[in-house]
């Protein structure tokens, strides 16, 4: 098979659990490395317009870095990606109190999310399969949730992430991958020379706590109109009072796999396209990264990378008009998200 998957040891956690690193590679020379710790994508090596390869995702060199990471670099996020207002929700008449870890909100699954768990891992044909069973009551969410995430690479330099989840009790779920990309290379320094296009004509306005107001608003005439290519450097200082993008765009795809966004880096010629079946794509431009000591001596700072987080809408447990994020017994949650890399 042209696509190969191999594995090697990657040290161990502080409590002695051995960690495995998996490498997916194709005949074009592209490679992606993933840990069974948090399902984190540690490296993505792709060529530029001159054929020179570089690692285009932010991350760390060792387990200490990944265990202490507070930025969610490269990680699988669960049980609920993004924010839940007030750190609580009511489902079927019962109220559940969650860990408040982002102002007044619960963020990315709580105190210890799926990004800090060791997943069961296996190679099946040319794919990496990760499974995590979240116990009933973990982070105070109801139901035992079994999540299977499959990473696969093809000969067209496309990395696919497929999600399947079931539950024993009704529970809100929202899964995503939180890779930070810098198409100039992880040590390039910033993303202001990148050009972004989003195939979305509406977005979710936010309140002062970064929670959706419930309105779905057209992007027309706003700084969130990215339907035509926009250079990050021309917008980041204006959006969010200078904090850049941390916004969910509405895709109106009805569960179909669609091209949601494209980011280009003209100096290197690299681009990434994001396709997803999810109703939302969250754009985060890394404002809160500060002096993160990354791979090979690199230090990542503000606007050092961007995230394309395919997901359900934030705080959808409080918004009846948003796409339903509650998974019930007998039903299966599915998602497919594809990151395709190329050169201009």
In the structure encoding, which two tokens stand for residue 33, read together? Answer: 């490395």
CATH entry 2.70.98.10 includes domain 4-343: yes
Catalytic residue among 108, 178, 194, 282: 178
- The CA-based angle 132-135-136, given to 5 degrees, is 140
How confident is the model at residue 1, as a pLDDT?
Answer: 63
In the structure encoding, which two tokens stand for residue 53, read together? Answer: 């390869």
How confident is the model at residue 51, as a pLDDT?
Answer: 98
Torsions phi, psi for 290 (to 5 deg) = -145, 120
Domain boundaries, the chain: 4-343
Do 165 and 145 meet the contact criterion of CB atoms below 8 Å apart?
yes
- pTM as predicted: 0.98
Catalytic residue among 138, 265, 309, 312: 309
**318 carries an active-site annotation:** no
CA distance 90 to 238: 36
- Paired with 309 in beta bridges are 282
User: In the chain, which stretches have pLDDT less than 50?
Assistant: none
CA distance 34 to 123: 12
Place of tokens 């500060």: 290
**178 carries an active-site annotation:** yes
Those residues whose C-beta lies under 8 Å from the C-beta of residue 280, and which sit 6 or more positions away, are 204, 248, 249, 250, 251, 310, 311, 312, 313, 323
277 class by beta-carbon count within 10 Å (0-12 exposed, 13-18 middle, 19+ buried): buried
Taking Cα atoms as reference points, which of 248, 252, 235, 260 lies closest to residue 206? 248
List binding-site positions for beta-D-galactose. Answer: 82-83, 178-180, 246
């Amino acid at each position: 098979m042209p696509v190969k998957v191999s594995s090697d040891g990657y040290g161990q956690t502080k409590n002695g659990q051995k960690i495995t690193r998996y490498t997916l590679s194709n005949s074009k020379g592209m490679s992606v490395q993933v840990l069974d710790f948090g399902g984190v994508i540690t490296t993505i090596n792709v060529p530029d317009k001159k054929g020179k390869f570089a690692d285009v995702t932010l991350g760390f060199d060792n387990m200490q870095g990944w265990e202490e990471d507070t930025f969610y670099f490269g990680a699988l996020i669960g049980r609920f990606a993004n924010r839940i207002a007030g750190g609580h929700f009511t489902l079927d008449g019962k109220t559940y109190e969650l860990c408040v870890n982002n102002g007044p909100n619960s963020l990315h699954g709580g105190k210890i999310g799926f990004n800090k768990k060791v997943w069961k891992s296996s190679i099946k044909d040319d794919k990496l399969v990760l499974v995590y069973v979240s116990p009933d009551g973990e982070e105070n969410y109801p139901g035992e949730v079994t999540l299977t995430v499959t990473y696969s690479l093809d000969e067209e330099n496309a990395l696919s992430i497929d999600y399947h989840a079931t539950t024993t009790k009704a529970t809100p779920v929202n899964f995503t991958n939180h890779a930070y990309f810098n198409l100039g290379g992880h040590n390039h320094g910033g993303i202001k020379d990148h050009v972004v296009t989003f195939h979305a004509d509406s977005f979710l306005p936010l309140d002062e706590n970064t929670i959706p107001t419930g309105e779905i608003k057209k992007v027309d005439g706003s700084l969130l109109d990215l339907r035509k290519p926009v250079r990050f450097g021309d917008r980041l200082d204006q959006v969010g009072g200078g904090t850049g993008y941390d916004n969910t765009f509405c895709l109106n795809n009805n569960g179909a796999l669609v091209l949601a966004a494209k980011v280009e880096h003209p100096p290197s010629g690299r681009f990434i396209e994001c396709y997803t079946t999810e109703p939302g794509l969250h754009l985060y431009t890394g404002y809160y990264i500060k002096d993160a000591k990354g791979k090979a001596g690199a230090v990542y700072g503000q606007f050092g990378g961007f995230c394309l987080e395919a997901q359900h809408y934030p705080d959808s447990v409080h918004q009846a008009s948003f796409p339903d994020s509650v998974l019930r017994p007998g039903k299966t949650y599915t998602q497919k998200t594809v990151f395709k890399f190329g050169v201009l």
